Amino acid sequence: DVKVTQSSRYLVKRTGEKVFLECVQDMDHENMFWYRQDPGLGLRLIYFSYDVKMKEKGDIPEGYSVSREKKERFSLILESASTNQTSMYLCASRGQTLAKNIQYFGAGTRLSVL
Amino acid sequence: GEDVEQSLFLSVREGDSSVINCTYTDSSSTYLYWYKQEPGAGLQLLTYIFSNMDMKQDQRLTVLLNKKDKHLSLRIADTQTGDSAIYFCAESRNNAGNMLTFGGGTRLMVKP
């Protein structure tokens, strides 16, 4: 069974803190993604990675960075958290077969920045 | 630019059919998707349709695609309370396939 695991379901951080959100997949997928989900806006792509140590900016990369040191793990980093980064963060992965582009999602991390 | 739009909310009675609509703008999309998000959970792929198809049926789910109008719909027959969730429409942006554009999601509420 396909599994994408996000390390935390809920996080509360203070403004200015450095925040790490971790995601692990066990499907040997090449591609991994970080989205944020806000009511009425759907999912917006922050960053994605198509291979170890490779990354590409998505639609809203400002204020975020990512790290992909191992194939199974993709980390989202908020260098200095701000209140407008309070959101639900979803990680996804996808295999190399392009035809169907099916992404598998983790359960999400709900981050509150106070 | 790419944009995918959905209505925010739909309420139906248990046993009725639900129809969730979506419009998209990228005519080069090869695949279109419906994802379901239950409370407190991530997104789960429900179904997808290739752009050269008009219709796809899978048990209680029927997907209709009108490529001329760039309109996608998801019909759920005999809607159950367990179908209450947020439903997202998504399109592939290009054949490289790394990016999906999601709609804002439609919250389906099923009343007993």
Q: What is the pLDDT of residues B6-41, one digit of tens each?
A: 999 999 999 999 999 999 987 777 789 999 999 888
Q: Count chain A–chain B contacts defined by CB atoms under 8 A.
A: 58
Three-state secondary structure call for residue A43: strand
Residue A83 in 3-state DSSP? Answer: helix
* Chain B contact set for A48 (CB, 8 A): 98-99
Nearest CA in chain A to B105: A42
Nearest beta carbon to residue B31 from set A31, A101, A108: A101
Q: Which of A3, A56, A101 to mutate to test the interface with B (most CBs of B within 10 A)?
A: A101
Query: CA of A35, closest CA in chain B: separation in Å?
Result: 10
pLDDT given for residue B107 in this prediction: 96
Residue B95 confidence (pLDDT) above 60: no
Residue A58: list chain B partners with CB under 8 A: 99
Identity of the highest mean pLDDT range in A82-86, B49-53, B98-102: A82-86
Among the partner-chain residues B31, B92, B104, the one whose CB lies closest to the CB of A41 is: B104
Please name the residue that has the structure tokens 């008009």: B54
What is the pLDDT, as a whole number, of residue A95? 79
Best interface-test mutation with A: which of B6, B33, B100 has the largest number of A CBs within 10 A? Answer: B100
- A32 within 8 A of A14, measured Cβ to Cβ: no
* pLDDT at residue number B1: 44
pLDDT by residue for chain A (114 residues), tens only, comes to 668 999 999 999 999 999 999 999 998 998 999 999 998 888 999 999 989 999 999 999 999 999 999 999 999 999 999 999 999 999 999 877 655 678 899 999 999 999
From edge to edge, which strands make up the β-sheet containing B4-6? Answer: B4-6, B18-24, B71-76, B61-66, B55-58
Across residues B61-66, what is the average pLDDT?
A: 96
Of residues A52 and B51, more confidence is placed in A52
Q: Inter-chain contact A90–B41, Cβ cutoff 8 Å?
A: no
Q: Is B102 on the interface with A (CB under 8 A)?
A: yes
Pair B18, B35: CB distance under 8 Å? no
- CA B57 to chain CA centroid, Å, is 13
CA distance A30 to chain B (A): 11
User: Are the Cβ atoms of A31 and B41 closer than 8 angstroms?
Assistant: no
Predicted confidence band at B99 (pLDDT cuts at 50, 70, 90)?
confident
pLDDT, chain B, mean: 90
A60 touches chain B (CB under 8 A): no
Q: Longest C-alpha distance within chain B, in Å?
A: 44
